[in-house]
């Protein structure tokens, strides 16, 4: 009898590909790591190693148990080394991904079960171990919960290490390929991404996975251009294929035309260098318009990594810190003190530039398990953002207190997600006041005048912006959600890609209403969605009255190159003209013509 467990890899070569790709193909996936690059593909295929069922004699039991203990200990040593490497290259929070794998490897209840089965059934250790692993993960594979699916990946990554030790098999290192290779596979583990980074991988493409997977989080932290969830990418692409990978748009082009390829080779320096690394070439930061108006430009922030110090060195503030990734990295909510250490480190690094910390915005495409195993048919319109926080009062209170503690320097702001009306805002503010009261009693310093703002991403909030503006210190427009809710177009649905249009007149009207309400009450208003980094939209947004653009760090360079070429007086007129247009096509044409005029 044979069982499948673990995995090994082999490479195809250009002379013996499994599936040839004879013509240019354009593949779409999910943008998971910033950057545009090109190079030669190396496809990594999975094949399941076979585990033989073998009967042992009673007197062999002790040696079999010793083999198991030795395999587990050696695997733990490997994982500990990876954890230390991750901490050195990326930072503590991401290194905790390997902590979770260490916890899996040392699950004493599971190991006792394996040993008991070896003793009672007199079977070899690798067979029993793989059998119980499969029984453990089988129900998790069927789960719709992304956390459970991530758990499967982590368990498989750990078990494959143990089984390889037990069987004496080795895995062919995926890093054996030349430097600057684009790796393509069904999926890669966090450890494999670390290995690829050390080998100077050029980009990563996977057939499965999501933007919040551990693998994607590490890729993003290490600034590796990455596209995930490309259907059957490892089958449609062959080793040796020329690839163009756009990690900002989630697009992969295999076998581009010779003209495309030659053009990219001419522009190699511009294409391969990450835009964020070119910030030191800018004459001024923050950027200033041609008529000498400073424009506040900030970065969106997910997880720590090499990009942190780059941003801090250039005095780039954080306009949106997505704290939910702290949870998604670890599969559990960190304690108040753990969160304080993280937030305080970010605030200290970027001081005196402001750091806008958004409370957990889980749900929708960022799932987590619940005690009631809640499943929703339409999670984007369901239990997410501030609604979920209200239903987890202890979690919300811990986070609020952690943010308040990190605010003692005076450069931290609180941002509340998915606020739909004044009632929800009032409830959230009561949590914040309660946290302040407790910290005062404990004698812990914090900024007693900490600015509190809300995301404007639900149309009801935009319509009621004049009411909400009376109770907050600032607005931050989440253009992605505001667009999908306004136009009833799922932003992740490829069939609706043309319908999902942030420049649609209806979306712009809601943005304009929000800006007018903010101006009336003299509070700043930012845009922190993808629209903020769109060079087509930037002149319009500034002309409409947006006071801050917070964007993906990979967009900063191009945005800062554009702004000095525009005149503030001209873009005010541009915004006024756009307000009179009634179709998306007219607006896009207006903005395109303006951008061409300033190039």
- Point out the residues that are catalytic: 214, 528
* Helices 584-598 and 505-520, axial angle in degrees (round to 10): 70
Backbone angles phi, psi at 528, to 5 degrees: -125, 10
Structure-derived torsion over alpha carbons of residues 479, 485, 490, 496, reported in degrees to the nearest 10: -90
Distances in whole angstroms, Cα of residue 569 to Cα of each of 291, 418, 540, 544: 8, 34, 12, 11
CA separation for the pair 55, 53 (Å, rounded):
7
Helix axes 61-89, 125-141, angle to 10 degrees: 50
Structure tokens at 180: 């600057």
* CB 539 within 8 Å of CB 595: yes
HEC secondary structure over 328-385: HHHCCCCCHHHHHHHHHHHHHHHCCCCEEEECCCCECCECCCCCCCCCCCCHHHCCCC
Distance (Å, rounded) from C-alpha 565 to C-alpha 546? 18
Q: Which two tokens stand for residue 580?
A: 């009179």
d(CA 407, CA 355): 9
Name every residue whose Cβ is closer than 8 Å to that of residue 348 and which is 6 or more positions away in sequence.
Answer: 409
Q: What is the DSSP letter of 173?
A: P
Residue with tokens 């812990």: 444
CA-based nearest residue to 255, from 583, 17, 598, 77: 17
Between the CA atoms of 89, 314, 211 and 181, what dihedral angle is there, to the nearest 10 degrees? -60
DSSP state of 47: E
Q: Distance between CA atoms of 271 and 291, rounded to whole angstroms? A: 31
* Residue 546 burial (CB count, 10 A): 26
Nearest-angstrom CA–CA distance, 515 and 274: 33
């Amino acid at each position: 009898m044979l069982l499948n467990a673990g995995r090994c890899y082999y490479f195809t070569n250009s002379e013996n590909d499994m599936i040839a790709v004879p013509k240019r193909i354009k593949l779409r996936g999910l943008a998971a790591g910033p950057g545009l690059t090109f190079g030669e593909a190396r496809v990594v295929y999975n094949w399941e190693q076979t585990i033989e069922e073998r009967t042992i004699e009673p007197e062999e039991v002790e040696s079999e148990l010793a083999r198991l203990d030795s395999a587990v200990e050696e695997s733990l040593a490997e994982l500990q080394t990876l954890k230390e490497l991750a901490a050195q290259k990326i930072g503590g929070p991401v290194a905790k991904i390997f902590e979770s794998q260490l916890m899996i490897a040392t699950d004493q209840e599971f190991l006792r079960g394996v040993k008991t089965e070896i003793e009672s059934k007199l079977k070899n250790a690798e067979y029993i171990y793989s059998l119980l692993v499969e029984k453990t993960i089988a129900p998790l594979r069927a789960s719709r919960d992304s956390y459970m699916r991530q758990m499967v990946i982590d368990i498989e990554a750990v078990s494959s290490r143990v089984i390889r030790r037990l069987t004496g098999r080795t895995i062919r290192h995926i890093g054996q390929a030349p430097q600057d290779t684009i790796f393509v596979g069904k999926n890669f583990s966090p450890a494999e991404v670390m290995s690829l980074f050390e080998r100077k991988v050029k980009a990563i493409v996977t057939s499965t996975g999501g933007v919040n997977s551990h693998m994607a989080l590490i890729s993003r932290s290490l600034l590796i251009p990455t596209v995930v969830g490309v259907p059957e990418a490892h089958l449609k692409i062959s080793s040796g294929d020329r690839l163009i990978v756009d990690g900002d748009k989630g697009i992969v082009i295999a076998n581009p035309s010779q003209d495309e390829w030659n053009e990219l080779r001419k522009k190699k320096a511009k294409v391969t260098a990450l835009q964020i690394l070119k910030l030191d070439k800018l004459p001024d930061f923050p950027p200033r318009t041609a008529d000498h108006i400073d424009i506040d430009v900030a970065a969106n922030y997910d997880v720590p990594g090499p990009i942190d110090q780059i941003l801090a060195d250039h005095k780039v503030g954080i306009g949106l810190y997505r704290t939910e990734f702290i949870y998604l990295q670890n599969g559990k909510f960190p304690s108040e003190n753990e969160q304080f250490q993280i937030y305080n480190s970010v605030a200290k690094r970027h001081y005196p530039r402001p750091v806008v910390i958004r409370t957990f915005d889980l749900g929708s495409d960022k799932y987590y398990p619940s005690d009631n195993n809640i499943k929703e048919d339409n999670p984007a319109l369901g239990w997410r953002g501030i609604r979920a926080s209200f239903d987890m009062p202890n979690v919300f209170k811990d986070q609020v207190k952690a943010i308040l503690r990190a605010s003692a320097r005076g450069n931290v702001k609180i941002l509340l997600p998915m606020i739909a009306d004044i009632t929800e805002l009032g409830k959230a503010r009561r949590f914040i006041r309660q946290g302040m009261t407790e910290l005062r009693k404990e004698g812990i310093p914090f900024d007693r005048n900490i600015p509190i703002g809300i995301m404007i991403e639900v149309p009801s909030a935009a319509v009621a912006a004049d009411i909400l503006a009376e109770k907050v210190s600032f607005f931050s427009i989440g253009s992605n959600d505001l667009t999908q809710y306004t136009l009833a177009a799922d932003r992740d649905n490829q069939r609706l890609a043309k319908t999902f249009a942030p420049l649609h007149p209806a979306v712009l009207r809601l943005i304009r209403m929000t800006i007018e309400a903010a101006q009336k009450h003299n509070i700043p208003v930012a845009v922190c969605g993808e629209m903020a980094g769109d060079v087509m939209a930037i002149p319009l947004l500034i002309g409409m009255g947006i006071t801050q653009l917070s964007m993906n760090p990979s967009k900063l360079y191009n945005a800062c190159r554009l702004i000095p070429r525009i005149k503030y007086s001209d873009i005010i007129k541009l915004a006024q003209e756009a307000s009179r247009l009634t179709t998306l096509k007219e607006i896009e044409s207006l903005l395109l013509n303006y951008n061409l005029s300033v190039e």
